[in-house]
Structure 1
Amino acid sequence: MNRLFRWVGAGALLGSAILPAAAAQADNAQGHDQGNRSSAIKHVLLISVDGLHEQDVARCIGANTCPNLALLAKSGVTYTNAYTPGLSDSFPGLAALVTGGSPKTAGLFYDVSYDRTLYAPADTGCTGKQGWNVVFDETTGIDAQGGGALIHLDGGGAFNPDAIPRAKVGSKCVPVFPHDYIKTNTIFEVVKQHMRDSRTAWADKHAWGYDWLNGPSGRGVDDLSRTEINSINPATGKDYTDAYQNTEIFDNFHVNSIINEIDGKNSTGTRNAPVPTLFGANFQTLSVAQKATVATGGGYLDASFTPGPQVTAAIAYVDDALGKMVAELKARNLASSTMMIVTAKHGQSPTDHTKLVKNGDTLTALLEANNYLDPDGNFGQNNNAKALNDGTGLVGTGLVQTDDVGLIWLRDQSQVQAAVATLKANLSCNAPGICADGPQAYILSGPRLASMFGDPSNGRTPDIIVQPNPGVIYTTSQKKDEEHGGNAPDDSHLGLVVSFPDGHFHGERIGRRVTTTQVAPTILRALGLNPNELHSVKVEGTPVLPGLDANN
């Protein structure tokens, strides 16, 4: 059986790709290993560029300021109407790409979240109170233990034990590492399980917080680069997010990792290794440039996504990086067998800075003032002694996580209706309002929230989600003019280019609305695997991207 993608003309829409999907599913049902069958696509390279809007892609291709991305688009499909699945923090954004699922099945809402079923890291017997503020970010590496400085690029080479909560499993009290925290499997695990002699690799921004990419098995990614963006750059004495030029230095670690892997080495280039079947990396330079204030040249100049100086430079940097990867694929005779996907975990909001509102964290203040949370931030790990994940966070307090969205885990779940009533009575932007009085703002709770994100009574899903007016950031910070995490248009409308190693393809644009969850099943289908091997795909019914299969 040949799982070759065959492209034929189809007018304005992408030509049909004749894929033996039914036969592939039958093989899986019989327990056959598809990894030893032939396929034109033998490698998939997935690149996530944080902050890459669809408008960024359209603008730079139109202006010829991203020639390498334009060439990828010319040999593939550009989806002009791609969106995240409801939330746009890095965790749910990347989970969408690698699990095929929304937070409802993947269980990832933010890198800082809450789980009512978990115990504190120090509660080794699981005998105390439940309800832990889970923080899987730069402080998940051992460098951060006890509030320590992040002095190593690899986060110190191990987990911070104070960052790892515990769960009761039968009669045992076990640690919950990030790979235990995700509730569904990943494409890396499926590839490892069903493709003989396959290898997987990924590079991201936090050395230990992104351990969840391994999936529940803990072994999905053979080569997970341990790179920490918040570690101290020896050249500057500051972390790599201080300015977009410093972030380029960090992203170059990932470029080098990919090139090493294309060259048949591990990510560090220190030993030989097979070229990964599935590999990829995340880029942060564009995100940092977008967040920078307009006064310093950051962000965009108008509502039409005209990039400011920093964003212009960041897009040029990313495009150059893409060109280096493609050139290396060609040099190693791998371009004809590698599918390349360029997209994003999330966008950034607001690109139109006339809509920017920074009144402070009025959402948390309103909840505290009405006794739904302890006052003065006295909840979760906001009240610990030294720093996040130092092991002294409070248990059972609930949590509010805000950026340009508000995720609310109440201290007392019986107060949901009362809390929602309080929020709805204070929708305006005037004190003490939460600035959620516009047509694109909403407050989710009850059955509607449960339908979209899962039942809060199970312990992980927030009780209430507040999406404020587009442009609102719950902060007074003078260091950033854009953020992400919610479902505002600029957060969620992303660039998505799928480039195929097939000479018959001349670049197509598909305007049908899709979600980034469809990337994962598309990758598996391209490699000849059954997308339903992903639990989230099976439960949520996530289809492959349209136009790539005769059946869609």
Structure 2
Amino acid sequence: MKPLFLFSATVLAAALAGCGGSSDNTAVSAPTPTPTPAPSAAAVSAKHVLLISVDGLHQQDMSNCLANNTCPNLAALAKTGVNYTGATTPGLSDSFPGLAALLTGGSPKTAGLFYDVSYDRTLYAPTDTTCTGPQGWNVVFDETTGIDGWNGGALIHIDGGGAFNPDAIPHQKINGVCTPVYPHNYIKTNTVFEVVKANLPGARTAWADKHAWGYDWVNGPSGKGVDDLARTEINSIDAATGKDYTDVYTHTEQFDNLHVQAILNQIDGKDSTGVTASVPTLFGTNFQTLSVAQKATNASGGGYTDARFTPGAQVAAAISYVDTAVGKMVAELKAQNLYSSTLIVITAKHGQSPSDHSLLVKNGDTLMALLEANNYLDSAGNFGQNATTSGSLNDGTGLAGTGMVQDDDVGLIWLRDQSQLSAVLATLNANNGCTGTGICANNAQAYILSGSQLAAKFGDPAQGRTPDIIVQPNPGVIYTSSTKKDAEHGGNAPDDSHVALLVSFPTLTAATNTSAVGTTQVAPTMLKALGLAPTLLNAVQAEGTVVLPGLGY
């Protein structure tokens, strides 16, 4: 018989690290932990926290720009900050689990967010308002979650149309009642925004991200965690160009500038639109420019020029743009006499893979094709949101109860028939090579995860949300045939998971901390800085997540 798992001992240990404390976040790229030096300053105590997430910002990007003096504003923050060079994401590095780590203190196992496109066996279709049809829905919380996407409509408004697309909202039986599941209902734990609002009288919260309605989950289960949630949609059509804001990084800068202005407004005591309000206690934003530059083809100046993360022209320009934007925020904090009381966190939801272009393998959709060819999914692709009348996601005609696969530089598989698990594993292992129909998961850093090991790390698939199988292909493999991008993210490859993390506060002394830490530790640290107990976060309690070292706590 062929083996059902392919692991090296090192990768297995990394992939299946326990969920307590920072050890939950070990990844294949994490450095060997070293003793943490004693803090050189009193414990950080802040009145405000500004969280800045830069999609794609590797730790190596931060180190290189600091060493080469190409990010002066980040360098200035580092002079009163701790630079964590061993920070990693919790097992998956898509934007949803990446941001959930930062905002909840938990991994996908606890927060329940595996991808912006995922599957839940307990849910019913958006059109099944009585919850009497088949269970199992391909949940898509992206640009089509806004009303503009209704019936496959054009995404013509920067705010996504100003409301939810009803055909993006599945249903669930709760106490016998068929109930809509909005993104804020989909996350399984509370968020830092909810904790701050509930425990600091008069506190105000704000966030700005890339999807106007899909990111509603940052509100947490209450649906009310964020007072000022900027409803901006990166995939909306810019009337000036006729394209969305992801076509080229300089266009993405225009989108990110909306968020920069939102932060400047908030620092000035206004909301994101410029209406008078109080300065947020906890606020922040996400940048997309660097991610778009990294994905751009190497031939066009996208990505990196070598394995040392030497940036190509687009990446260099994108890092410079982000640095300048951060500088504007810091300058405004100083102008409003808020800098001395504001903790600033610079990090990333995820990295991007591969940085070394020589490792790139565009393997097509071989994983999906293999599953379809062996009848583990419908052979014609008629499953989930692959099968809509308009060809657009969330048009109300997707299929329920079909299982699905989501793949970028990782493969998440929800089986149509869970009793086929052993057969599927045998098929995957028999086709793990990089030729023909192979899924390219056959080197020492690749693995096919299922069963008890998967359940220990990500939760029990029998409960409905967790994938039955996770395929981590060889580093550099992307399940695509696209000629428009040379990098992706989502999995646990080293370039996906090893991200920048800089925590800055005026009373800190510059320090480099090489401990293996996780991005899940950001959430409890932000609460601690505001004088709140980290255990107010559900995920911190469940996973035993601790605050970051070196900050005097």
Which residue of structure 2 aligns with residue 521 of structure 1?
524
Q: What is the rounded CA distance, in whole Å, between the counterparts of 1:259 and 1:194 in structure 2? A: 25
Q: CA deviation at 1:96?
A: 0.2
How far off its partner does 1:14 sit? 4.9
Indicate conservation of the 8 Å contact 1:13/1:508, yes or no. no
Q: What is the alpha-carbon distance in structure 2 between the residues aligned to residue 163 and residue 176 of structure 1?
A: 9
Is 1:200–2:205 an aligned residue pair? yes
Q: Counterpart of 1:27? A: none
TM-score by length of 2: 0.93
What's the TM-score once normalised by structure 1's chain length?
0.93
**In structure 1, what is the equivalent of residue 438 of structure 2?**
433
Aligned pair partner of 2:219 in 214, 221, 229: 214
Contact 1:53-1:490 at 8 Å conserved across structures: yes
2:39 aligned residue: 15
Counterpart position of 2:11: none
For the pair 1:330 / 2:354, whether they are aligned, the reply is no
2:317 aligned to 313, 320, 323, which one? 313
- 2:36, 2:493 → 1: CA distance? 30
Q: Name the structure 1 match of 2:65.
A: 60
CA contact under 8 A between 1:257 and 1:267: conserved in structure 2? Answer: yes
Q: Does 1:344 align with 2:368?
A: no
Of residues 261, 264, 274, the one that matches 2:278 is: 274
Contact 2:36 2:515 in 1 (8 A): no
1:171 deviates by 2.0
Q: Please give the alpha-carbon distance, in whole angstroms, between the structure 1 residues aligned to 2:355 and 2:472.
A: 17
Q: Extract unaligned runs of 5+ from structure 2.
A: 1-34
Mapped partners of 1:14, 1:68: distance in 2: 26
- Deviation by residue 1:345-378 (Cα, 9 ceiling, x = unmatched): 0000000010000120111111111111101321
Between the aligned residues of both structures, percent identity stands at: 73
Distance 2:374 2:130 in 1: 35
Counterpart in the other structure of 1:484: 489
Instruction: Report what 1:536 is aligned to.
Output: 539
Give the alignment of 1:24-63 within 5 angstroms: 40-63=45-68
Q: 1:175 aligns with which of 175, 180, 185?
A: 180
- SS of the residue corresponding to residue 284 of structure 2 reads strand
Tell me if the contact between 1:203 and 1:227 (Cα under 8 Å) persists in the aligned partners. Answer: yes
- 1:399 and 1:109 mapped to 2: Cα distance? 13
In structure 1, what is the equivalent of residue 288 of structure 2?
284
Counterpart pick for 1:299 among 297, 300, 303: 303
> Residue 47 of structure 1: CA displacement?
0.1
**Distance apart, 1:18 and its partner CA:** 5.4
Contact 1:14 1:508 in 2 (8 A): no
Query: How far apart are the structure 2 equivalents of 1:47 and 1:359?
Result: 33
Contact 2:36–2:514 (CA under 8 A) maintained in structure 1: no
Deviation at 1:134, TM superposition (A): 0.2
Name the aligned partner's letter for residue 302 of structure 1: D
What is the match of residue 376 of structure 2?
372
| Cα deviations by residue, 1:132-188 (Å, 9 ceiling, x for unpaired) | 000000000000101111100000000000000000011210100000000000000
Contact kept in structure 1, 2:172 and 2:179, CA below 8 Å:
yes
Query: Residue 191 in 1 paired to residue 215 in 2?
Result: no
Greater relative contact order (CA < 8 Å, ≥ 6 in sequence): 2
- The 3 A distance-change label for structure 1 pair 511 and 200 is same
Mapping for residues 470-509 of structure 1, pairs under 5 Å = 470-502=475-507, 505-509=508-512
Deviation of 1:73 (Å): 1.0
1:448 is aligned to 453
**Structure 1 segments of 4+ aligned residues over 4 angstroms from their partners:** 16-19
> 1:161 aligned to 2:166?
yes
Mapped to 2, the partners of 1:90 and 1:409 lie a distance apart of 19
Separation of aligned partners in 2, 1:481 and 1:341: 29
SS at match of 2:286: strand
Contact 1:119 1:131 in 2 (8 A): yes
- Output one character per residue of 1:433-486: Cα deviation in whole Å (capped at 9) or x when no partner: 100001000010000000000000000000000000000000000000000000
1:368-397 Cα distance to aligned partner (Å, 9 max, x none): 111111013211010111110001000100
Please give the alpha-carbon distance, in whole angstroms, between the structure 1 residues aligned to 2:311 and 2:38.
30
Tell me, yes or no, if the aligned pair for 1:43 and 1:277 is still in contact at 8 Å.
yes
Is the 1:205–1:228 contact (alpha carbons within 8 Å) kept by the matching residues of 2? Answer: yes
Provide the rounded CA distance (Å) in 2 between the counterparts of 1:291 and 1:14.
Answer: 39
Per-residue displacement from partner, 1:488-527 (whole Å, max 9, x unpaired)? 000000000000131xx33100000011000000000000
Q: What count of residue pairs does the alignment treat as equivalent?
A: 518
- Measured in 2, the distance between the counterparts of 1:412 and 1:176 equals 24
Which residue is equivalent to 1:547? 550
8 Å CA contact 2:93, 2:350 repeated in 1: yes
Distance across 2 between alignment mates of 1:417 and 1:215? 36
CA contact under 8 A between 1:13 and 1:509: conserved in structure 2?
no
Say what the alpha-carbon RMSD is for the aligned residues.
Answer: 1.1
Structure 1 residue 17, shift from structure 2 partner: 5.8
**Structure 2 counterpart of 1:206, one-letter code:** H
Q: Tell me how far apart the structure 1 counterparts of residues 484 and 500 of structure 2 sit (CA, whole Å).
A: 26
Contact 1:41 1:501 in 2 (8 A): no
**Cα drift, residue 225 of structure 1:** 0.1
| 1:207-254 alpha-carbon deviations (Å, 9 max, x no partner) | 000000000000000000000000011221100001000000000000
1:107 maps onto 2:107 in alignment:
no
After TM superposition, give the deviation of residue 74 of structure 1 in Å.
Answer: 1.1
Give me the whole-angstrom Cα distance separating, in 2, the residues matched to 1:402 and 1:177: 24
User: Partner letter of residue 393 of structure 1?
Assistant: G
Maintained 8 Å contact 2:81/2:511: yes
**Using the alignment, how far apart are the partners of 1:418 and 1:500 within structure 2?**
54
Q: Alpha carbons of 1:322 and 1:14: their partners in 2 closer, same or farther (altered >3 Å)?
A: farther
Contact 2:478 2:487 in 1 (8 A): yes
Specify whether residues 17 and 182 from structure 1 end up closer, same or farther in structure 2 by C-alpha distance, changes over 3 A only: farther
- Provide the residue aligned with 2:139 in structure 1: 134
Report the residue type matching 2:290 in the other structure: L
